[in-house]
A and B are shown apart, each in its own frame.
Chain A
Amino acid sequence: MNSAQTLTIVRNTFREAVRDRVLYNLIAFALIMIASALLFGEISIGIQKTILLNIGLSSISVFGLLIAIFLGIGLVYKEMDKRSLYALLSKPIRRSQFIVGKFLGLNFTILVNTAFMSLGLWAALFYLTRGFEPQDIYIWEAIYFILLQLSLVIALCLFFSCFSTPVLSAVFTFVAYVIGNLASDIRTFGELTENPLLGALTTGIYYMLPNFSNFNVSSWVAHGNPVEGSVILWNTLYALCYDAILVTASVWIFSRKDLK
């Protein structure tokens, strides 16, 4: 695979997102963050910082999820539907490069997006506390986990967008996200029922869908607690493996698809 060609697709995917004015939601987000900091500084005593970090990290996660789904569902489908792919795929590139380029391009878009939102949170934190404490650095661990989570969401969107419409892709991805966040609870529920069939089903769901709950550390770091290095390593490997499986499946489907 020619990496310069793939990089060209990555760059164009990012350019498309920027010109779609998606990144401009950042300004609104930053304003909301600062307003929250001012508001909570007024009405909370003692826990202003915890509340700010909880709301801030949740906002980054929710905004990121919306952007990832909104852009991800159209990654492949929009190009097929509008037929812009016809001219692109008649260049000396492979379909796999298109899929990988699109995946990396949207990941880069989300990375830049999240970086801007995180800076907004950091600025709001500084405004509230007038300085930083050593444990504030743990916020970046939570942000890193949000990025891993969003990378999985992008991979799911890409996978679904190879064979279904944007609306269905959005529904499938959102359902997978919700179930993935409840994966551990669903598995425990299956075990508690003592029904072998239900137990097997919930265990199957647990292993098949990405376990998003592994990445939820926002509350933990908002209270000034660090995330263990081994957890960071395993979650990184888990997300990379899952991404690789979904992107490979997307390439497999897309490489066999007739573009009518």
Chain B
Amino acid sequence: MAAIEISGLSKDFLVGFWRKHRFRALDRLSLQIEQGEVFGFLGPNGAGKTTTLKILTGLIFPTEGTATILGKPAGQPEAFLHAGFLPENPYFYDYLTPQELLDYFARFYPLTPEERKRRCDSVLDQAGLSDVRGRPLRKFSKGMLQRVGIAQAILHEPEIVLLDEPMSGLDPVGRHEVRELILQLKAAGKTVFFSTHILSDAEALCDRIAILNRGKLVGVGQISDLLRRQAGYDAVIECPSPEAIAPLAPLAAKPPLYSGGHCRVQIPEQELSRFLSLCQGDGLRLISLNPVRLSLEDYFVEVLRDTESGRAPAAAS
């Protein structure tokens, strides 16, 4: 059974003063997330990431399509016994302390008082909140609230964790800790579905990613597959002067960089054989030649550019 199954999900919002115009925030999204996967949900602002997560958590209702969590209809209380959710920029009752808030939320699960206390203590530790467990939430910074949000999402040891922009508002140490936490969840066999703008985090953490643009799915797959394509070669050449590499310049993808008798040139794959024939002689000597792989950022930008221009994305499936 898939951890999360999304099928033909669309969401229209009525906009305008008289709410007569329809705005399609999500357009026939279909996705399947397997158990134990760390799945990244990427896309620019307004792409429909939060809309999808809100449908999965029952905060909004789809115009069409279905979504299930471990076979249970998304948004139903039964689904939340197995899923935890961190909203984007979370806000909690600021008159409570983290300990009170977690105890309040824990009471919605079928737990004994002892188990409830054990879980609260455990997630306070995991989120690094043990020292501030008695401080009112109104005195918390954005990053600290994010930690509280993560703590409440994993409070009941869910099999599936949905995180909306979990790194948002965190400092580098906080980001590192959240990354570690996601890796811990993965090691424990949990499914993690998270949206993010931070591509390096997605690249470091995700088994698979999906890219959404203007409500449509424009790319999905394993990162290793998506980034397998080469973007050319990176060559370093020994040369006596900048003028000596002039014949190579037309072949380069970017202007060559000359520094201290060496020159770095980026060569597209189709120009490689001509480049190799030209870079021997006239004082030139090839020092190194390495294939350049596409980064997630390159892929992300390329996919968005392709969809904006109406072309089919190269590696989307």
Q: Which residues of A line the B interface, CB within 8 A?
A: 4-5, 8, 12, 15-16, 19-20, 82-94, 256, 258-260
Contact = CB atoms under 8 A, between A and B. Distances in A.
B57 interface: yes
A259 B60 contact: yes
Nearest to A256: B61
B78 interface: yes
B91 A92 contact: no
B90 A87 contact: yes
B78 A92 contact: yes
B90 A92 contact: no
B108 interface: yes
B300 interface: no
A168 to B, nearest CB: 17
Nearest to B59: A259
A90 B80 contact: yes
B60 A84 contact: no
Given A91-B80, A92-B78, A260 B95 contact: no
A20 B96 CA distance: 11
Contact of A86 (B13, B83, B84, B90): B90
B129 to A, nearest CB: 15
A86 B87 contact: yes
A179 B87 CA distance: 42
23 contacts: A8-B104, A8-B107, A20-B95, A83-B91, A85-B59, A86-B59, A86-B87, A87-B85, A87-B90, A87-B92, A87-B105, A88-B105, A89-B58, A89-B59, A90-B59, A90-B83, A90-B85, A90-B87, A91-B77, A91-B108, A258-B13, A258-B61, A260-B13
Contacts of B78: 92
B84 A90 contact: yes
B104 to A, nearest CB: 6
Nearest to A260: B60
A26 to B, nearest CB: 19
Contacts of B109: 91-92
Interface string B88-121: 0111110110000000110111000000000000
A12 B77 contact: no
Contact of A16 (B80, B83, B91, B95): B95
Contact of B57 (A5, A12, A90, A93): A90
A89 B96 CA distance: 18
B87 A92 contact: no
Interface string B123-158: 000000000000000000000000001001000000
A203 B83 CA distance: 52
B77 A93 contact: yes
B298 to A, nearest CB: 34
A82 B92 CA distance: 8
Nearest to A19: B95
B81 interface: yes
Nearest to A8: B107
B57 A92 contact: no
Interface in B7-56: 13, 54
A87 B149 contact: yes
Nearest to B57: A90
Nearest to A85: B59
B93 A12 contact: yes
